[in-house]
Amino acid sequence: MSGSIYRRMGQLLFHFWPYIFISSLAAIVFVFLNTASIWLTASLINNILADFDKIVQAQAEWAGKAGLTLNEKLKYWTNVLILRETPLESLKILCLSILTVFFIKNIFLYIKNILLRIVELKLVKEIRDRLYKHIQTLSLGYFNRQHTGSITSIVMNDVEQLQIALAVVFQRLFVEPINILTFVALLFIISWKLALIAIIIIPLAGIAILSIGRSIRRKSRRTQAKIAEIMQILTETLTSIRIVKAFVNEKEEVKNFTRESKHYFKLLLKRARLDLIAGPTTETFGVIIGVVLLWYGGMEVLAQKGVSAEDFIRFILILFSILGPIKQLSNVNLKIQIGAASAERIFGLLDTPPEIVEDPDPVELDVFNNAIEFDQIHFEYSDADERVLDGVSFTIKKGEIVALVGPSGSGKSTIADLIPRFFDVSKGALRIDGNNVRKISFSSLRGSMGIVTQEVILFNDTIRKNIAYGQSDVTEEAIQKAAEAANALEFIEQTPDGFDTLIGERGVNLSGGQKQRLAIARALLKNPPILILDEATSALDTESEKMVQKAIEVLMKDRTVLVIAHRLSTVQNADKIVVLDKGKILEVGSHNELYEKGGLYRRLYDIQFD
């Protein structure tokens, strides 16, 4: 799985290769200038501490000597750059050289960093966009099984963790390895013996850091899962705050949240212990290397065996310069592990296949002409679930009003969800104008339907935007006519800003009847040939129900309508009533026919009207 995650992240990065390529070139120039700045700094110290005449003498010897070592060549060309007639002039040139190198170095550092930051931000945006787009393709069944808090956590928290990891990786992984290799090369040029001692000790630190990184990745998985649970609790509590307060359950909700928050704290603390030990571990190994080399190299200098004081100073400066990049790389590994844990969850969501897929060559349902036909429909939500519909067959002809009635759990709402293909039938066929709904394009199938449910879904936007939701290029006049036909215009004009009034999250600033009338206005503006009403008035008081019922009568005019209702008074005028029980059709007929028959419909009717 790890290799797959890194490979897929690499594939995402490949789209931005021009930025990465230019940034890499800037990084190489930066590393070269950074190395030069440290070399020049060592030369500065040597020029101050050493005898100037000896430096001039050594330079003259190197100028006339054939077969210089690489270390001698570097020192020779450095002196060519900075050595002048007097120590003061040489010091002046050396200081100006260091200043110039540092200035140019930081320009290339900025170029490298800004290009990589662009890549980082573009990549994170692309991942979030892909996640959101993919979520829109998933069926209702997926959202019934998954917590919204978990999905939200992946889109926000996991992508944010990945962004942090990418930021660290981009800003360090592209430079520090080259930095380290360049410094190591210089160490070997100065003294291969001392460099070999350092190289032997450094891998021990790497082994410790990799071990810590693996543990951090495991804990990061658990941490991200826990924050998803916390977000779920928070989402559920905020959306159900009315019930929480009505049942005086604030203390219990606080207790649940505090308990999960405590678990999250413990996971973060465990990860922090590992994260924070990596730096001291690296530094400890660095000190060990430094002490060993100071002791061994100091002995070499004092004994004048192979290493000069100048070389030893330069070696120690470069050695301690290398510890910084190594320490940065240790943190990179830790951040990569955290990011990889988040990437697993991100790709897990992206890899979730949509259960309802549009046909590759779909049929366009331009006009609804004949009928909706249920032919021996069987349905269960999953293989392990009980069958919800069992051999259901009936027809809704164009212009008919067909009502579905029956006890709770009889399958009424499931039938309503099958028509727009929110779910696919398990067995049998559902046809519209002779076309299997599986063959019809999503846009033309759902575009031909208006759906008004008991639970009205409104958005935290203006009344105008909610009525015109999903409709482009609609006129103000059309919106007002839809509101008027839905008996909503009067209350809209009484709001502070009319059609520009913000209705709050889920329409919290409106009453149940007002929300229902906005939903009807939305359906009227869409002007669909097929209308599905699922318990549209069951949650309303008597006065609101009357106003909504009038709006529904306007909405139903000249349309093919499927009505689901517990209140049988609302379906007495239906052309056909289908009575369901336990997923099967028991009776079909008009109100009078079913009442005279004396079956389940009559029992339900008598219970309601006593």
- What whole-number distance in Å separates Cα of residue 114 and Cα of residue 92? 33
Strand pairing class (401-405; 576-581): parallel
Confidence of residue 373 (pLDDT cuts 50, 70, 90): very high
pLDDT at 231 over 70: no
| DSSP structure class, residue 174 | T
| Mean pLDDT along residues 373-402 | 86
Percent of residues, the chain, with pLDDT higher than 70: 78
| Mean pLDDT along residues 573-579 | 88
- What whole-number distance in Å separates Cα of residue 209 and Cα of residue 484? 69
What confidence score (pLDDT) does residue 1 get? 46
What confidence score (pLDDT) does residue 378 get? 92
pLDDT at 525 over 80: yes
Cα separation values, 386 from 357, 389, 582, Å: 24, 9, 10
| Mean pLDDT along residues 298-326 | 70
Confidence of residue 320 (pLDDT cuts 50, 70, 90): confident
Mean confidence (pLDDT) of the chain: 79
Cα separation values, 104 from 41, 45, 62, 170, 458, Å: 16, 22, 30, 21, 57
> Pick the residue with more confidence: 377 or 513?
377
pLDDT at 535 over 60: yes
Q: What does the pLDDT look like over 236-285, one tens digit per residue? A: 676 666 566 655 667 777 787 787 777 777 777 776 666 666 666 666 76
Beta-sheet strands, E only, within 371-504: 371-379, 389-397, 401-405, 427-432, 435-436, 449-453
| Mean pLDDT along residues 548-572 | 78
What confidence score (pLDDT) does residue 501 get? 86
What confidence score (pLDDT) does residue 368 get? 87
- What whole-number distance in Å separates Cα of residue 267 and Cα of residue 282? 24
Closest CA to 470 of 449, 499, 489: 449
**Range from 105-119, 331-345, 489-503, 536-550 carrying the lowest mean pLDDT:** 536-550
Percent of residues, the chain, with pLDDT higher than 90: 7
Backbone angles phi, psi at 557, to 5 degrees: -60, 130
Ordered alpha helix ranges (H), 351-475: 412-418, 442-447, 463-467
What confidence score (pLDDT) does residue 266 get? 73
- What whole-number distance in Å separates Cα of residue 206 and Cα of residue 211? 9
Q: What does the pLDDT look like over 106-137, one tens digit per residue? A: 999 899 888 888 888 888 888 888 888 888 88
Residue in the block written with tokens 């380290």: 180
When mean pLDDT is compared over 34-43, 296-305, 494-503, the highest value belongs to 494-503
Closest CA to 385 of 141, 565, 604, 580: 141
| Mean pLDDT along residues 501-529 | 82
| Mean pLDDT along residues 315-320 | 76
Closest CA to 479 of 464, 493, 494, 495: 464
| Mean pLDDT along residues 89-118 | 86
Closest CA to 282 of 212, 211, 209: 209
Burial 571-598 (b: 16+ CB within 10 A, else e): beebebbbbbbebebebbbebeebbeee
> Pick the residue with more confidence: 153 or 71?
153
| DSSP structure class, residue 29 | H
pLDDT at 68 over 70: yes
Three-state DSSP at 138 gives coil
Q: What does the pLDDT look like over 415-470, one tens digit per residue? A: 988 998 988 898 999 999 999 999 999 888 888 888 887 777 888 888 888 888 88
What confidence score (pLDDT) does residue 374 get? 92
- Bridge partners (DSSP) of residue 377 are 392
Backbone angles phi, psi at 373, to 5 degrees: -120, 125
What confidence score (pLDDT) does residue 180 get? 79
Task: Tokens for 151, please give them.
Answer: 């999905």
- What whole-number distance in Å separates Cα of residue 572 and Cα of residue 146? 39
Ordered alpha helix ranges (H), 397-462: 412-418, 442-447
Confidence of residue 73 (pLDDT cuts 50, 70, 90): confident
pLDDT at 475 over 50: yes
pTM: 0.70
